[in-house]
Amino acid sequence: MPEPSNTPVLELVDLVAGYRTRHGLLGRRGEVRAVAGVNLAVGAGETVCLVGESGCGKSTVARAVVNLLTPISGEVRFAGRSLADLDRRELRAMRRDVQLIFQDPYASLNPRMTVRELISEAWRIHPGIVARERWDAEVGELLERVGLNPAHAARYPHQFSGGQRQRICIARALSVRPRLIVCDEAVSALDVSIQAQILALLGRLRDELGVAYLFITHDLGVVRHFADRVAVMHLGTIVESGDTEQIYSAPAHPYTQALLSAAPSVDDWRDRGGEEIVLSGDAPSPLRPPTGCRFHTRCWKAQDRCRGDEPALVHRGTDHPVACHYASTETGLENADVVR
């Protein structure tokens, strides 16, 4: 049944997800809430980037979205329906609609399968996508679409370079005609000339096929070039979200400001010695997140209120939501003694 066109492809509602832990061999059991209440929507054909540093929970979000991890609470909705409500048959169908691409293409390709086998494997599992007699032709078309030579369908993954392997992963993801592709650091391990090739390919597929992306990365440069919307994640929560240009031209959360200031850019040779925010100390452990605002231990704006009262992600006189009691596009660095 076709859903109304304004229903997002993917919706995360108050998502809480994580892992069980144990301290020592017989120690007490605990729970890390790597994702601590995330709301996010990806519309049809839209590219949403989830950006953050290690331990922020961005990969846990990816795992929950593709149903590799059951949420502790909250919901993952696909085309308006909660994953928790789907029966087995519906879950199978949903697995077709959502595909995942990882950072390391070699680890995600079975080295004993040819490219043809890798790409057609899903058609064996989901009959009815492509008729058997069309397999070879369809593999050829997919390879061509991702910029590989169709004549190489009989080769094995090790015969390709890293960038070409990522193209194979993309062809395989496309083979089931997904509506959403989750890319978890999909271009992070590639050399910059190849990274740009893969980004161009993903962009072209978005235009040609209308596929939506949830693009998970730590690379703020890639995000600016690729995203329609951005959500900045810090220790399990989204601290700021909005249209890409809103976030990049007028960041209002101190963490976003610090991240953008810290991201090295090829344009930095022009302007050295400008205002630079360098956070002091280490990020807190996700095992024991700080009370109140999770950023307050490293924030130069933090007041007493921030230690006790967790700020919600809402509009605060800004054109996009920000989870900071003192959200402002002014960094207010002149009053900061934390920043050296």
Partner 1 sequence: MSALLEVSGLAVAFGDLRAVRGVSLTVEKGRTLAVVGESGSGKSVTSLAVLGLLPPQARVVEGSVTFDGVNLLDLGDDGLRRLRGEELAMIFQDPLSALNPSLTVGYQIAEMFRRRRGMSRGAANERAVEAMAEVGIPDAARRAGSHPHEFSGGMRQRVVIAMALALEPRLLIADEPTTALDVTVQAQILRLLRERQRAGLGMIIISHDLGVVARTAQTVVVMYAGRAVESGTVAEVYSAPAHPYTLGLLAASPSARAGRREIRPIDGNPPDLASLPSGCAFHPRCPFARQRCRTETPPLRRLPSGRASACHFAEEVLSRAGTVQHAGA
Residues found near partner 1 in the complex (CB under 8 A):
53-54, 161, 163-164, 191-197, 199-200, 218-226, 245, 248, 258-269, 272, 276, 278-283
Measured from the CB atom, the residue of 87 and 267 that comes closer to partner 1 is 267
- Our measurement of the distance from residue 159's CA atom to the centroid of its chain's CA atoms, rounded to an integer in Å, reads 29
CB of 237 to partner 1, least distance (A): 17
CB of 112 to partner 1, least distance (A): 24
Amino acid symbol at 196: A
- How many C-beta atoms surround the C-beta of residue 304 within 10 A? 9
For the chain, where are the alpha helices, taking DSSP H only? 58-65, 88-97, 115-125, 135-145, 162-174, 192-209, 220-226, 244-249, 254-262, 304-308
Measured from the CB atom, the residue of 135 and 147 that comes closer to partner 1 is 147
Number of helical H runs and strand E runs in the chain: 10, 12
Measured from the CB atom, the residue of 112 and 272 that comes closer to partner 1 is 272
- How many C-beta atoms surround the C-beta of residue 309 within 10 A? 14
CB of 120 to partner 1, least distance (A): 25
Measured from the CB atom, the residue of 154 and 262 that comes closer to partner 1 is 262
Measured from the CB atom, the residue of 12 and 235 that comes closer to partner 1 is 235
Burial class (CB in 10 A: 0-12, 13-18, 19+), 217: buried
CB of 301 to partner 1, least distance (A): 16
CB of 84 to partner 1, least distance (A): 33
Measured from the CB atom, the residue of 73 and 161 that comes closer to partner 1 is 161
Q: How far apart are CA 237 and CA 12, in angstroms?
A: 12
- How many C-beta atoms surround the C-beta of residue 329 within 10 A? 13
Query: DSSP states of 125-136 as a string?
Result: HSTTSS-GGGHH
Measured from the CB atom, the residue of 91 and 262 that comes closer to partner 1 is 262
Amino acid symbol at 322: V
Q: How far is CA 219 from CA 159, 178, 184, 231, 289, in A?
A: 29, 25, 12, 13, 24
Measured from the CB atom, the residue of 132 and 225 that comes closer to partner 1 is 225
CB of 139 to partner 1, least distance (A): 22
CB of 260 to partner 1, least distance (A): 6
CB of 222 to partner 1, least distance (A): 5
Amino acid symbol at 58: K
Q: How far apart are CA 217 and CA 186, in angstroms?
A: 8
